[in-house]
Copies of this chain bind each other. A is one copy, B any other.
Amino acid sequence: MADRAFSSGSTSSATDEARSRVVIVGGGFAGLNLAKGLDRAPVSVTLLDRRNYHLFQPLLYQVATAVLSPADIASPIRHILRHQQNVRVGLAEVRAVDLDRRRILLEKEELGYDYLVLAVGATHSYFGQDHWAAFAPGLKTIEDALEIRRRVLLAYEDAEWEVDAERRRAKLTFVVVGGGPTGVEMAGALKEIASRTIPKDFRHIDTTSARVILIEAGPRLLQGMPVPAGARALQQLRAMGVEVRLGQLVTDIRREEVVLGEERLPATNVIWAAGVRGAPLAQTLGVELDRSGRIKVGPDLSLPGHPEVFVVGDLALVVDARTGEAVPGVAPAAIQMGRFVARVIGEEVQAKGDKPPRPVFHYHDKGAMATIGQNRAVASLKGFTFSGFFAWLLWCLVHILSLVGFRKRVFVVFSWLWSYLSFTKSARLITGDAEDAIHRRRQEPD
């Protein structure tokens, strides 16, 4: 009986039955904004996610670097949508989609739809070297962020008691692979921890001597942003003491070593910020994917041949007809896609007679930005590139205003102020299995 719970709903009324059923899979920026956009539409929305919360991913690196706590950047989806009566929220993972029968398959049950929107996002890609994942965690989920925080903090704990100089050096070497916004922000924050946050906490090691190395295979940093932004980021990171290596390809990652062609870099702590690919659900659909596992959609963001199925956010590959460029996998694009599809569905279900022709999605690029350490950033807005303190203030403002919930905004502002004025990062906890933490320290080869 319980298996049919999602499909029936125990209190659905007769009115609900007559409404179009919109199923949204994924409560990220795209899925959440889509659900909100259907606020006044005469539809019955089901929003499913594997998590009970919406995550503000642009600030995830601040959880990984102990500035913020998970609850500062995440809110329960059902709480965000609590006042919207035409939405029900469910914790579930979609296993497959039956496009012909218009049903999605959950672990044990099925759910029919009139409109389906896939907004499940992207995950790490190790370019076929999945065994690197054990040594170089990526940064997509709260669990990822807490694991990175734990490894970074443990590295200093280990180094403090390590008497062998060479191994101590490896423990105090942090390698970030990938020079996009996440890589740039992680590298800057790691350097700042070493040089400003923790020096006084340790007796035996000089944490300011810790090396932070940022490796980018391409010719410049921040390739999604204009050229001057990448140049400024490079300049600012180098000024902070981050070793930036451009045009170098990581060829292997092992337990305590990163290999770059001929060079072997002894490093215990590696963070992967290089590749993303579409979530695995895309592969179950039998539709055309690009190299990165994204789904190619039409100009209205619908699946070719299936106008009732949309793909939005990082999972969608759509070329903007106006610019001829693929829409980038960033939060503003996801938000715009969600709102666009909400409008399309809203208009169709309210149309009397024939369905109106579908509009075409255009991405409005309002600019991009990345922080570099405590009080510097680069921002590119309408063709101009800013950097330094002003860009950092702008970055703070934009991110604060985008956070869901008044309390979170106030808390995050206060956390930043505190972290800024005191050089202290308050969330420096090594959580998880304590046994495991101690074991791992001791089990390294002697």
Contacts and interface: CB of A to CB of B under 8 A. Distances in A.
Interface of A: 1-6, 8-11, 50-53, 69-72, 74-76, 78-79, 82-83, 88, 90-93, 107-108, 141-143, 146, 153-154, 157, 160-164, 167, 198, 200-204, 405, 407-408, 410-411, 414, 418, 422, 424, 426-435, 437-439, 441-442, 446
Contacts of A143: 431-433
A49 to B, nearest CB: 9
B434 A407 contact: no
Given A11-B203, A201-B76, A92 B438 contact: yes
A116 to B, nearest CB: 19
Contact of A428 (B5, B76, B424, B428): B76
Given A1-B446, A2-B162, 20 more contacts: A1-B163, A1-B164, A2-B446, A9-B204, A10-B162, A52-B157, A76-B428, A78-B202, A82-B200, A88-B203, A88-B204, A90-B157, A107-B438, A107-B439, A107-B442, A146-B431, A407-B414, A410-B414, A411-B414, A414-B414
Residue in A50, A141, A442 whose Cβ sees the most chain B Cβ within 10 Å? A442
Contacts of A414: 407, 410-411, 414
18 contacts: A1-B164, A3-B446, A10-B204, A11-B203, A50-B434, A52-B153, A52-B157, A53-B430, A69-B72, A71-B426, A78-B201, A79-B201, A79-B424, A90-B161, A91-B441, A107-B439, A142-B431, A407-B414
A151 to B, nearest CB: 13
Nearest to A51: B434
Given A92-B438, A143-B432, A163 B5 contact: yes
Contacts of A411: 411, 414
A430 B1 contact: no
Nearest to A434: B50
A143 B8 CA distance: 36
A443 to B, nearest CB: 9
B10 A163 contact: yes
A438 B50 contact: yes
A411 B142 CA distance: 21
A136 to B, nearest CB: 20
A71 B427 contact: yes
The 5 closest A-B pairs by CB, nearest first: A71-B427, A5-B161, A69-B69, A78-B201, A50-B434
A345 to B, nearest CB: 21
B429 A418 contact: no
Contacts of A50: 434-435, 438
Contacts of A167: 2
Contacts of A3: 446
A62 to B, nearest CB: 12
Contacts of A422: 407
B69 A163 contact: no
A435 B143 CA distance: 12
A91 B202 CA distance: 12
A68 to B, nearest CB: 9
A440 B414 CA distance: 38
Contacts of A405: 426
Given A143-B431, A422-B407, A434-B50, A162 B200 contact: no
A410 B446 CA distance: 45
Given A9-B204, A201-B78, A414-B410, A429 B153 contact: no
